[in-house]
Amino acid sequence: MPLTAGSNLTITTISLTMAELGPLNPLPVVAAELDQPYTVGEGVPEDLQASARYGVVPNVYPYLMQDGYSREAAPKDVPAVVLENSKLKVTVIPSLGGRIWELFDKATGKQLLHTHDAPQLANIALRKAWFAGGLEWNIGTRGHSPTSCDPLHTAIVHTSDGKHILRMWEFERLREVVFQVDIWLPADSPVVFAAVRIRNPNDHDVPMYWWSNAAIPETDRTRVIAPADEAYGSDYTTDITRVRPTSHEGYDGTWPVNSPHAADFFFDIDPAERRWVVAADDDGDGLAMLSTGLLRGKKLFVWGQGQGGKRWQEWLSPGAGPYAEIQAGLAQTQFEHLVMPAGAEWAWVEAYGNGHLDPDTSHGTNWDAAVAHAGERLEQLLPHEELEAMLSAAVSDADVPPSKMLLHGSGWGVVERARRQKTGKRWVDESGTPFVDESVTEEQEPWLGLLHGKAFDGAPSFVAGADWAELLAGEDGPDAKLQLATMRHGRQDLEGAKDGYRRVLASDAGPGTMALAYRGLGLALLAGGQDTAGLAELRKGVEADSTNPSLLTEAITLSIRHGDPVMALELNDVAPKEGAAVGRLRFLRALALARTGNPGGAAAILREGVEIPDLREGEDALAALWQEVCPNEAVPAAYQFGMH
């Protein structure tokens, strides 16, 4: 029996058919691998260009990658919280990034979000694992959040004025800030509210990024409207430029079904205007995204109608139909970071409901009339002044202690609190967002031990920052030396990293530590253009720990990329024949065969069928290899992932 907490909030489970997330990739993320897909073109103001240059990170160190999943799905019960009143039923899944998974409008019987019961994990997020659907919260840097597939700390909060709030929070390790999302649904309200708070406890500014992304059903008659005539647009291959969405490249891009390829439209909304975006189907129904003023940006994303876009949607949501996304963010575009001052606290309120537009006007040829009509309807749905007035109460509620804990997130908040206490640095008030000792796991225990004066003998995780470097420098063991070298590598101090790795290799380290040191040295050498030496170190790493499929897969990939496909084939001969990595390893074998003059062998593997669970968004390598080794045959639909 579900436990009922208040009149409109129920703690329950939902059944989803999906693959297990699998183990974390044990390899530290040290390479400069976060590509910036955007370059800024004509018509983009200098202040926007400056914020695009600010805050860019080379990688998501100290996070580890989540790529241990396959595509072997099975039914599983997932913890859920349902908020329900007479108008809406809202389902949230705290264990998977805290998404609002369903937003059901009772009057129309329609799901306002793209949702389904068989989400497929895929390589879309900053840490790879991601799934399509619902409404997600993204923080840190451009891309789907490091917490996309993680459980968040979750609790029910009862306020003195009778609110029943679902609260979710976490310590975000890339920017070292605490964020929380408070969700509540008042009785008879046509919208559900989400109050977001980010706190920067650091004594320095941090680059900040936040986007709330909602997947919406895409029909032949879906139109997306925002109060702007122009936008900053990109199709992921050309510069960001100023465009007019209603007449873009010969089509009206406000109808997702019109876009021939994947595209972004960041609406250029006048600061004096209320900022909103709404989708409307053939009946005028669809999700409206409203927010208080701080959440400035509003965006439309479409996969496009090409074969690759359709393939991606089927890959992510088998049988669930096409979808687009409408999004809201702190900056005007997603290639920007904002300066969050030391000690700052930012908060805003978002609201989501059915826009209930008149289809004749919203779907008419007069854009100005459609915008004016949508603005009027949304003002009726939730007056702007009423939403803005809710912010002060939301800020006060943010520190109300939880009434009932439901789920633990990571233990990194506990570690961060301990680190700051040891060094006399400030921390956040945890009254509303407690980080409890029960959340600590083997990932965090060695670091808490180090803070408390225990000898450091290794950890399955990594940390960043001067405090940690100072503590590790006082340790003599090879594991501490490896951590220091990795820390330098993560921030792209290649010379310091190489020196550190060589110190590890000169010590009496265990095979796992030696393997990571060889691997780190190899990556640093490759980054410096020393291909032969770098690949030799990667080979030594595989030999030191032949049980690590991540190490093997990376070494094979890089040996092909850096011109030694023979090494790739030699390493592939000892590759595992089962597990999540097998699909990519089969593809890499085919690629290496093609590069060593055996296109027939490569074609045979492709014809047998290759499925790569961690295929990267936009990665068109399967189609490219098919065209190379089977030049007179059409690329199978299953291999068409190109977004253009």
343: containing domain: 3-397
pLDDT of res. 38: 59
pLDDT of res. 2: 42
Residues in a beta bridge with 177 = 172
Q: Could you read off the pLDDT of 384-442 as tens digits, one per residue?
A: 999 999 999 999 999 999 999 999 999 999 999 999 999 999 999 999 999 999 999 99
pLDDT of res. 235: 80
1 pLDDT band, cuts 50/70/90, is: very low
pLDDT of res. 237: 73
Lowest mean pLDDT among 189-193, 345-349, 575-579: 575-579
In a domain, 379, yes or no: yes
pLDDT of res. 498: 98
Q: Could you read off the pLDDT of 218-275 as tens digits, one per residue?
A: 999 999 999 999 999 988 777 788 999 999 999 999 999 999 999 999 999 999 999 9
For the chain, percent helix, then strand, then coil, each to nearest 5? 30, 25, 45
Quote the crossing angle between the two packed helices 466-473 and 412-423, to the nearest 10°.
80
pLDDT of res. 8: 86
**Residue range 153-168: mean pLDDT, rounded:** 96
Q: Point out the domain boundary residue: 347, 365, 397.
A: 397
Going 209 to 200 to 59 to 101, the CA torsion angle's sign is: negative
pLDDT of res. 506: 97
The number of distinct structural domains making up the chain is 2
pLDDT of res. 7: 53
578 pLDDT band, cuts 50/70/90, is: confident
**Residue range 296-317: mean pLDDT, rounded:** 94
* Integer Cα distance of 114 and 104 in angstroms: 11
Q: Point out the domain boundary residue: 397, 428, 455.
A: 397
CA dihedral 516, 519, 521, 523 (to 10 degrees): -130
* Integer Cα distance of 81 and 3 in angstroms: 10
Report in angstroms the alpha-carbon separations of 265 from 22, 253, 306, 481: 35, 8, 18, 47
**Residue range 597-624: mean pLDDT, rounded:** 94
Please determine, for residue 27, whether its predicted confidence score (pLDDT) is greater than 80: yes
Please determine, for residue 582, whether its predicted confidence score (pLDDT) is greater than 50: yes
Question: Please, what is the Cα angle at 598 between 597 and 604, to 5 degrees?
Answer: 155
The DSSP letter of residue 65 is P
Q: Residue for token digits 């780190």? A: 520
Percentage, residues of the chain above pLDDT 90 = 91
Please determine, for residue 5, whether its predicted confidence score (pLDDT) is greater than 50: no
Question: Please, what is the Cα angle at 137 between 216 and 315, to 5 degrees?
Answer: 50
pLDDT of res. 579: 83
In a domain, 506, yes or no: no
In a domain, 443, yes or no: no
- Structure token pair of residue 126: 């900053």
Q: Choose between 610 and 575: higher pLDDT.
A: 610
Q: Could you read off the pLDDT of 455-514 as tens digits, one per residue?
A: 999 999 999 999 999 999 999 999 999 999 999 999 999 999 999 999 999 999 999 999
DSSP alpha helices (H): ranges in 345-477? 359-362, 367-381, 384-397, 412-423, 445-451, 466-473
pLDDT of res. 39: 67
Per residue in 230-258, is it b (16+ CB within 10 Å) or e — as a string? bbbbbbeeeebeebebbebeeeebbbbbb
CATH number at 609 reads 1.25.40
Q: Could you read off the pLDDT of 84-116 as tens digits, one per residue?
A: 999 999 999 999 999 999 999 999 999 999 999
37 pLDDT band, cuts 50/70/90, is: low
In a domain, 439, yes or no: no
Phi-psi region of 417 (alpha: psi -120 to 50; beta: other; left: phi over 0): alpha
pLDDT of res. 505: 98
In a domain, 376, yes or no: yes
String of DSSP letters for 303-338:
--SSHHHHHHHHHHSTTS--EEEEEEESSSSTT--E
Please determine, for residue 41, whether its predicted confidence score (pLDDT) is greater than 80: no
CATH number at 154 reads 2.70.98.10
Length of the chain: 644
Please determine, for residue 6, whether its predicted confidence score (pLDDT) is greater than 60: no
pLDDT of res. 3: 39
Backbone angles phi, psi at 130, to 5 degrees: -160, 160
69 touches 129 (CB < 8 A): yes
Q: Could you read off the pLDDT of 504-561 as tens digits, one per residue?
A: 999 999 999 999 999 999 999 999 999 999 999 999 999 999 889 999 999 999 999 9
In a domain, 521, yes or no: no
In a domain, 320, yes or no: yes
Please determine, for residue 217, whether its predicted confidence score (pLDDT) is greater than 90: yes
147 pLDDT band, cuts 50/70/90, is: very high
Q: Point out the domain boundary residue: 351, 368, 397.
A: 397
In a domain, 467, yes or no: no
SS3 405: strand
